[in-house]
Every structure is written in C-alpha cells, then in structure tokens.
Amino acid sequence: MNDLNILSSSLEKIKAYILANSDTSTKILDYQTPSALSKVIPFDIAQKGVSENEFLDLLDKYLEYSVKTGNKQFLNQLYAGFNLPAFIGEVFSVLTNTSMYTYEVAPVATCIETEMIRLMNSYTGYTKGDGIFLSGGSNANLIAMFSARNRLLPDSRIEGYNCNEKLKAFVNENAHYSFGTAANLLGIGTKNLVKVKADNEGRMLPAALEKAIRQAIDQGEKPFFVAATCATTMMGAYDPIDAIADVTEKYGLWLHADGAFGGSLLLSEKHRHLMQGIERSDSFTWDPHKLMNIPLICSALLVKKAGTLQKNITDINTDYIYHDIDEMDDLGKKSIQCGRRVDAVKLWFAWKYFGLEGYRDRIDNLINMAEYVEEIVKSHPQLRLHSKRQSFAVCFQYIPKKKTNVNDFNLAVREALRKTGKSNVNFGYNGSDLVIRFVAANADLNKADIDRFFTYFISEAQKLENA
C-alpha cells in the first residue's frame, strides 16, 4: 500500500465529513441493527492485511455508519458539536505521540498542561491550587474521594483502609453514578454513600445534608466527603455550594464540586452565580469535552491545596522514568496513571483560537439556546415542561390528545427520530415519567437549528398520534 496515497485520501474524507456537519440535509445516522451492520462491515481480522482500496473503503464505512456528533441535530449527550482548533490539536497530539509523565518526553505539552491548570484554577478561585488532566469526570470524582480519604486517614495509603473506620460520604440523590463506583473501588462500600434528598428542582437540601451527617456521627461513623453537583445529568440542576460549604466547614469535611457537566459555566460572567461559593470547595471536576466542545476525552481535577495530589502517591522512586534533571516538575508524580494522553493540548489550541471572551460568549449562547427551547415548549399546546429549566437541559413531554401511555408515546417519537437519522435526542426518567431531555451542548447552535428539531419532533408526534 502507498502510505502517502492513503494519507491524501484520508484528508479528503476528513474535509468532506467536516463540511457535512453544516449540511442540514445530512442524516445524523444511517441506522443499522448490529446484525445488519456486521454484514456491511467485515469486523473480523484476517490472516492477511487488506488492500489499499479495501482500507479506504473501511474508512468510508466507519464514517458512514457512525453517529455524526458534529451535526447540530445531535442533541443526545452532554457533549456535542465540532471544534476545529481542538480537532487540529488532537491530531497534532497524536502525531507527536508523547506521554504526559515527564517533561523529558513532553516538554511543550507539560508547559501547556501547567498553564491550563493555572488558568482553570483562576476561574475556581484556587489561588494556591493544583490539578491534573485525567481520563474523564468519573476518574476525577474518584481521585477527589481518594484525596479526601487520604487527608483524613493518611496511613491508609500504606496500611490500607480499615473498614472499622466507618467512613461515610454524601452526595445529591441525583448525583452521577461514578460516586458509587468510587466508594466501591476505595473499599468504602456503596452502602456508605448517602444520597441526600434534593428539592423539587433537583438541588441538594443543605438542611437534609446536615441531618444526615449528624445521624452518621451519632451512629459512630466518620463523615469525610461531600460532593456538590454542578448541573445534574437530567435536570441540569446546580447544588447551592455556599450553603453546603457552611455545613462541610462546620464538620470539617472535604467538599468536592462535580462540574463534569456544568463546570464550564464558570466562563460566563452572566451565569456563573449558579456556582457561587466554588472557591470554598476543596476539589473540582471540570470536563472541557462537554460544554467547551473539546474532543473526548478532556477532563481535569482541580484541587485547592497544592501538593494534595502528590500525597496520594505512595512510591515515586522510579528513577527509570523520573530523573529530576529539568527545572519543571514532572507531572506524572501527581497522577495515578503512568502513561497518560496529551489531552490539555487540544484545549489549549481551542482556547487560544477563541480567546477568553470567545469562550465566554460560547457558553452564554448555550444558555440562550436552552432558554429558547424552554420558550417553545411553554408556548406549544401539546408540549409540557416537566421541570423548571435551570441551565443547559430542558426536560419535556409531548401530551397526545388521544388516550395512550404518555411514556411509551414519547419514547416512540424519540426512536422514530433516531432511527430515521433526523435528530438524536435523549430521554430519561423524572420520577415515573419518561421525559425528553434536550441538552444545549453545541456552542454553534442557533434558533434555526432548534426550530428544525421541533419541526421534526412535532411532525413525528402528530404522525404517531394520527396513526
């Protein structure tokens, strides 16, 4: 095979794919069942390699049958859109193929990650903070709980965690499932993760938190960790950080803020009040791969106190990697990963491209688009807003005129849109009600894109209603 021919053809395919993102006639997905897809694409690996033409055909098929998340009708997940400078940064990161453990092998990337952590900490108010890029928000939440445990029980790093310590952690009842995973992995146990009651808008109740902490203390248990959620997965609700911090400071608990979804709101001067008190937290999860549209994965854990992450590591006497010969510290010494992707570089390229003001405006546009969605839902006679919009997510239902199961009806409408490739929007449950969850996560969305979605949605609903 001619590698240069393959490279040239691949670049043309990439260009065409990018241009198709702005083509409103392009389907998000050519839906196939798994069995049908296996007939179109030979997934098995043969003894001999494929020819050049076969290889290029596989590239075409991969793009053809994958979900086009850069299309502005992709509204399914907490990430969406295509970010050209970040994409280029990703390509160059892969091209250089370095790892983030030492300055020696990744000098430019180490300087970039250090600057990105400094900049992100300037938004949280961690004036003496630190941080690390890692493999996703779930991992960031794990390391936050890990750090909290090690602060309370520093010997556990060497001796191991003794379950007789009876540690107790507290999260919003609507918090991400990763906290349960973290409790499991750290040996604390999921039964010792307390899900604190939230109000009708999905926000943790500080009074309920304090009651749960007091109850644990009275039972001889050791509360050590509280996580405030900055935009819950379904409702986009923001926990009241200031009021929660009053409680955690009173009892000496670690306060973590999970901003994996909504942390980028800090970039908005107009809306960051929803995260008032963030500077009082001890750690913060921030996923730029969501609302900042950076290609997956791009996630960071920020900590208020420098040195916190290094204290999690028990043995860095690995002189085959860390030589301490450069004036900049090797970032691998504060990471539980050894080999680590260069994820900060694509964020840096994007932030350089748009600037501080540009990203502020992009986040503000997301809120504006969510507000517009809310207006449409409120004004349509057969659409019902299921919960008050707080940020980027709008939960609603279509209420058919004929008597039918509303949950099944809305799911059928959603599936019709997905399988025809017109729009891809997600659903979930608020209580027993299945609701459509529109997430404004693509910063390039405009009102015409949203009008197009509702035209598709209502048309499918009316077609099903009249069937």
Fold of 89-350: Aspartate Aminotransferase; domain 2 (3.40.640)
The rounded distance, in Å, linking the Cα atoms of 309 and 327 is 20
Per-residue pLDDT tens over the stretch 371-420:
999 999 999 999 999 988 999 999 999 999 989 999 999 999 999 999 99
Structure tokens at 444: 């390039």
The predicted structure's pLDDT at residue 139? 97
Residue 458 has pLDDT above 70, yes or no: yes
User: 213 vs 24, 177, 209, 245, CA distance in Å?
Assistant: 52, 21, 6, 13
Mean pLDDT of the chain: 95
Q: What is the pLDDT of residue 265?
A: 98
28 touches 423 (CB < 8 A): yes
Residues in contact with 317: Cβ distance below 8 Å, sequence separation at least 6, in sequence order: none
Q: Is the pLDDT of residue 3 over 90?
A: no
Rounded-to-integer distance, Cα 338 and Cα 78, Å? 28
| Amino acid symbol at 279 | E
Is 90 exceeded by the pLDDT of residue 22? no
- Note the pTM of the prediction, 2 decimals: 0.94
Q: If phi over 0 gives left and psi between -120 and 50 gives alpha, with beta otherwise, what is residue 436?
A: beta
How far apart CA 313 and CA 320 sit, in angstroms, is 17
CA 55 from centroid of its chain's CA atoms: 33
- C-alpha pair distances (Å), 124 with each of 10, 182, 311, 418: 41, 23, 22, 38
Q: In this structure, what token pair is assigned to residue 161?
A: 């965690």
Instruction: Kindly list the distances between the CA atom of residue 88 and the CA atoms of 50, 82, 426, in Å, as whole numbers in the listed order.
Output: 28, 11, 29
301 and 144 Cβ atoms separated by less than 8 Å: yes
Under a CB-based contact definition with an 8 Å cutoff, are residues 188 and 148 in contact? no
Q: How far apart are the first and last CA of the chain?
A: 54
Q: What is the CA radius of gyration of the chain?
A: 24
Distance CA 100, CA 109 (A): 7
Query: For residues 223 and 215, what is the distance between their CA atoms, to the nearest angstrom?
Result: 10
Alpha helices (H) in 125-191, listed in sequence order: 137-152, 156-159, 178-185
SS3 of 215, please?
A: helix
Distances (CA, A) of 26 to 64, 197, 338: 11, 44, 41
| Residue that has been written with the tokens 């050590």 in this structure | 224
pLDDT at 162: 87
Q: How confident is residue 316, by pLDDT bands cut at 50, 70 and 90?
A: low
Return all residues near 226 (Cβ < 8 A) that are at least 6 apart.
169, 170, 171, 209, 244, 247, 248, 253, 254, 255, 256
Q: Is pLDDT at 449 greater than 80 in this prediction?
A: yes
Which residues have C-beta within 8 Å of that of residue 211, sequence separation ≥ 6?
none
- Kindly give the pairing relationship between strand 283-286 and strand 299-303: antiparallel
Pick from 114, 167, 179, 124: nearest CA to 334: 114
| C-beta separation of 237 from 394 below 8 A | no
d(Cα 84, Cα 88) in Å, to the nearest integer? 6
Which of 19-23, 237-241, 342-346, 365-369 is predicted with the least confidence, judged by mean pLDDT? 19-23
Q: pLDDT digits over 184-234, tens only? A: 999 999 999 999 999 999 999 999 999 999 999 999 999 999 999 999 999
Q: How confident is the model at residue 333 (pLDDT cuts 50, 70, 90)?
A: confident
